[in-house]
Amino acid sequence: MTLRGKGLFIWQLWNCDGGDPEVIAAKARAAGLSHVLIKIADGDYWTYNLHPKTKVDLIPPVLQALKEEGIEVWGWQYVRGRNPIGEARLAIQRTKVLGMDGFVIDAEAEYQSTSKRAAATRYMDELRAALPDLPIALSTYRFPKLHRSFPYTEFLSRCDYAMPQVYYEQRHNPDTQLEICVEQYMALNPARPIIPTAPLYGRGDWRPSAEETTRFFAKAKEIGLSAANGWSWDVSSRPAYNDLWSAVSEFDWPTDAPVADMPERLVGRLNQHDRDLVAGLYAENAAHVTGERTVFSRQAIADWYGKLFHEVLPEGQFEITGKAGSGSTRHYTWTAKSSRGQVIDGNDTLGLREGKIQFHFSYFTVR
């Protein structure tokens, strides 16, 4: 598995377009992103990106919406090394529960000591034992020669990628710094494929320009790197940094990622058993028609799905068996199995408008 194209890190989802899954997915697709990297944990105790007030996990609906657009979603964790086993176990739990496509270790100042080599080894052993096939990357300093006490070998020996943070603060030479970074990382033992991260933020009186951001991505592509990232969505989506967002968005690095069609998107969300997640695919004034009744509005549709998930087909598993249609209409057949019965004759028609479901005719019987 090789990451290709452009990606953005997300720190706090609530600061990224309000955490709205549909807006985030649409913006990621419009920007031509191939992957998004979301913080899922901090240290050994902090499950990250829960809503600050409600404590609801904001990640699942965003992850689902991004995947429906053909965009990979990786999780990342900031680690300190005080309790490496606890940190690894939190990362494992979050990565598995969320169904992440890959995982990034963000290790920085706390690991700048030769005394932390054993902690890095314990962390990586625990992580790899539980996630043997998952792509894993290390995100840390851009110039290894300036951080010789950092345990690069202990981390990278169990990683698939290096994701150096090429934050050229107080300078304006991104291409030169990227070349030096790549040279130093390729001299490490072991060397790993490099996916660098560019700064999309300001520090004091310094900030990168749009032209520098373009140069960074162009240099990464020119020297044969498969992908490059930007830090971060949180900052570059603000009005004051729109020029940096545009620079990333307009840089041509195609990946030909497939986009799920609406029936597959709908059934994928049905299998998550979250009524609001499903209702997010519908227009605000959508209509849903069944043999029993017709309901209007996204909220009424969410209520209908709530009943479906809890009373009609609890924990149901849905599957498409056939599909036809193009343009603004889709017709598909489906089946479902649940603890209260099964459906073998599902037969639905969708009317689409501006990427949302405007009307939905649904027929099925539970046996």
Q: Give me the pLDDT at residue 258, please.
A: 66
> Would you put residue 148 in left (φ > 0), alpha (ψ -120 to 50) or beta?
alpha
pLDDT at site 135? 96
Asked whether residue 1 carries a pLDDT value surpassing 60, the answer given is no
Average pLDDT on 209-235 reads 96
**Per-residue model confidence (pLDDT) at position 40:** 98
Contact 266, 234 (CB under 8 A): no
- Write the pLDDT tens digit of every residue in 137-168: 999 999 999 999 999 999 999 999 999 999 99
Cα–Cα distance for residue pair 71/78, rounded to 1 Å = 23
Q: Are 282 and 231 in contact, with CB atoms under 8 Å apart?
A: no
Report pLDDT for 355. Answer: 83
CATH 3.20.20.80 at 5-250, yes or no: yes
- Planar angle of CA 268, 271, 276, nearest 5 degrees: 85
Res 208: pLDDT: 98
Residues 352-358: contacts with CB under 8 Å, at least 24 apart: 352/262, 352/328, 353/283, 353/328, 354/283, 355/26, 356/281, 356/282, 356/283, 356/286, 357/262, 357/266, 357/281, 357/282, 357/283, 357/286, 358/282, 358/283, 358/286, 358/287
Q: How confident is the model at residue 354 (pLDDT cuts 50, 70, 90)?
A: confident
User: Would you report the helix, strand and coil content of the chain in percent, each value rounded to 5?
Assistant: 40, 30, 35
Go through the chain and tell me how many residues it has: 367
Neighbours of 11 (CB within 10 A): 18
pLDDT at 251: 97
User: Token pair of 52, please?
Assistant: 């600050």
Interatomic CA distance for residues 100 and 327, integer angstroms: 32
Q: Is the peptide bond before 314 cis (omega within 30 degrees of 0)?
A: no
Q: Are 208 and 174 in contact (CB under 8 A)?
A: yes
Gap between the Cα atoms of 229 and 231, Å rounded: 7
- What is the band of 71 on the pLDDT scale with cuts at 50, 70, 90? very high
Assess whether pLDDT exceeds 90 at residue 3.
no
Give residue 343's pLDDT: 96
Round to whole Å and give the CA distance between 241 and 180. 27
| pLDDT beyond 90 at 69 | yes
Closest CA to 198 of 184, 183, 221, 238: 221
List C-alpha distances in Å: 102 to 121, 128, 132, 211, 228: 20, 12, 11, 30, 15
The answer on pLDDT for 2 being more than 80 is no
Task: Report whether pLDDT(50) > 90.
Answer: yes
262-363 folds as: Nuclear Transport Factor 2; Chain: A, (3.10.450)
Residue 142 in tokens = 């851009």
pLDDT exceeds 60 at position 47: yes
Q: How far is CA 263 from CA 157, 271, 359, in A?
A: 42, 12, 13
Residue 344 has pLDDT above 80, yes or no: yes
> Tokens for 15?
């600061």
Q: Which two tokens stand for residue 31?
A: 């920007």
Question: Mean pLDDT across the chain, nearest whole number?
Answer: 94
Give the pLDDT band of residue 130 (cuts 50, 70, 90): very high
pLDDT digits (tens, 9 = 90+) for 271-318: 989 898 899 899 999 999 998 899 999 999 999 999 999 999 999 999
Q: What is the mean pLDDT of residues 67-80?
A: 96
Quote the pLDDT of residue 145.
97
pLDDT(346) > 90: yes
Question: What's the CA gap between 110 and 318, in Å, rounded?
Answer: 46
Segments of the chain assigned to CATH 3.10.450.50: 262-363
Please name the residue ranges forming H helices in the chain: 21-30, 59-68, 84-98, 117-130, 152-156, 174-186, 210-222, 233-236, 242-250, 262-270, 275-279, 298-307
Amino acid identity of 78? Answer: Y
CATH 3.20.20.80 positions along the chain are 5-250
pLDDT digits (tens, 9 = 90+) for 231-285: 999 999 999 999 999 999 999 998 766 667 899 989 988 998 989 889 989 999 9
Average pLDDT over residues 170-175: 96
Predicted pLDDT of residue 257: 60
DSSP 86: H
The two structure tokens encoding residue 199: 């700064």
Residue 335 is inside which H or E element, if any? strand 329-338
pLDDT in tens, 84-114: 999 999 999 999 999 999 999 999 999 999 9
User: What Å distances lie between residue 133 and 88, 167, 189, CA to CA?
Assistant: 16, 30, 21
CA-nearest of 119, 133, 63, 131 to 86 is 119
